[in-house]
Amino acid sequence: MRLILLLFVLLSQLSYSQNPYRIRAEKNLPYLVRDSSLYKQININEYGVFIYAPDNLDYAETKIQWSEVESFLREHHFTSQKTPSNPKKNSLKGIHIALDPGHFANNMETAILERKFMKIDKKDTGTKKDIAFYESDLAWNTAYILSKRLEAKGCNVLITRKKGKTSFGMNFKKWKKKSFKKSLQEDFKNKIIDKKKYDWYLNEATDKDIAKYLNRKDLMNRAKIINEFEPHLTINIHYNASSDRTDANGNFPAIKNNYCMAFTGGGFMKNELNSKEARMNFLRLLLSEDLEQSILFSSVVMKYHQSIAKVPVIPNKNNLRYLQKNSVYADQPGVYCRNLGLTRRVKGTICFGESLMQDNINEAVLLNLKNYKEAGIKTSSRIKLVVDAFEAGIWEYLGNEE
């Protein structure tokens, strides 16, 4: 009888060690944790996954047994979102793709509030005129042109915002007038901000402060819109810059470096597992295929940024603080796990792309041009090549290279 019981225990332990969810969780965990202090809050064992509050390591506030994982993923993941394998040649029928063009400025004034603009003095570039453009415009042009190409192949495409507007359908000025106070009241009611902060926003906050507040709200709303759409793929479209520091005239220095990079979920920092929402997102990334597939998709997109747009990926050995201190290298060139608002909240396969450096002297000159037209949009020929790179990445990831 003892021998039978011992054999049962050994077989049970073996089955737990071979549990596919446990194998995935242990594989994903190093990509999800950036600050080692979080490891004391996480326990993966033969019974399941247990997450502890930082101030109470004796009681697991969030726990999932292996037998409960499937039901957890049904509740917190897409149930109908399964990417078709090898879609019909030259067709994306049945594929849903969400495109999220970063930021929301509709003019240079708002772009300056966002700190997402580019101005470079002509003496630094050798051009006849000063360089002046903003990222919101570049990102939206990229998303719109890409959307028209994808739709022509039968794809169902969502763009999270309209040109010059937030995901709430209003530009900054209109949102401030119509929705700012109401949003503050909701945050106060839900105890997100206290009375002191509420009064400060109403009476002392500058437009720059309000733009930061709107950005946080906008990101949460974008994630909601994307998740309701249940896309097979999500692409967050951004253009990078080396610094947000300008000279006395509001100009950026031109730089020689140029590189691209992409982010997926993961890279949780200290105190970023304290809320229930954060723990649920952490567990989804730990137990689902989202992280693995996002890294794969992002690596393909980066490959085509190199071969088509001719932008090198950021070397893994670099001195960028947000990569070295706030991200985890995903073991794929140019791809990092980082706990951004969208990479954390958006479900499914996601690539948060930073396609090139806007303040690179050559890129800045080219991005300032209107030398290419597609889908009724006059823009830079550099945008065209970035669209080409994203499109090629989509086709390869779906197993249907053109």
Confidence of residue 127 (pLDDT cuts 50, 70, 90): very high
State the DSSP code for 267: -
Confidence of residue 263 (pLDDT cuts 50, 70, 90): very high
Q: What is the pLDDT of residue 1?
A: 54
Judge whether residue 379 has pLDDT over 50.
yes
Report how far residue 52's alpha carbon sits from residue 278's, in angstroms, rounded to the nearest whole number. Answer: 12
State the DSSP code for 257: -
For residue 125, the tally of other CB atoms under 10 A from its CB is: 17
Percent of the chain with pLDDT over 90: 85
Mean pLDDT to the nearest integer, 285-293:
97
Q: What is the pLDDT of residue 88?
A: 63
* CATH code for the structural domain at 96-397: 3.40.630.40
Q: For all residues of the chain together, what is the average pLDDT?
A: 92
Q: What are phi and psi of 9, to 5 degrees?
A: -65, -45
Report how far residue 125's alpha carbon sits from residue 362's, in angstroms, rounded to the nearest whole number. Answer: 8
Mean pLDDT to the nearest integer, 148-171:
97
Q: What is the pTM of this model?
A: 0.93
Judge whether residue 7 has pLDDT over 60.
no
Q: What is the pLDDT of residue 57?
A: 81
Judge whether residue 10 has pLDDT over 50.
no
Mean pLDDT to the nearest integer, 121-130:
94
Residues 6 or more apart whose CB falls under 8 angstroms from that of 265 comprise: 32, 281, 285, 290, 291, 294, 337, 339, 343, 344, 350
Q: What is the pLDDT of residue 245?
A: 87
Query: Distance between alpha carbon 233 and the CA centroid of its chain, in Å?
Result: 12
Q: What is the pLDDT of residue 56?
A: 83
Confidence of residue 359 (pLDDT cuts 50, 70, 90): very high
Q: Which of 36-40, 61-65, 80-84, 245-249 has the lowest mean pLDDT?
A: 80-84
Rg of the chain over all Cα atoms, to the nearest angstrom: 23
User: Where do the CATH 3.40.630.40 domains begin and end in the chain?
Assistant: 96-397
Q: What is the pLDDT of residue 168?
A: 98
Report how far residue 15's alpha carbon sits from residue 72's, in angstroms, rounded to the nearest whole number. Answer: 20
Higher-confidence residue: 86 or 74? Answer: 74
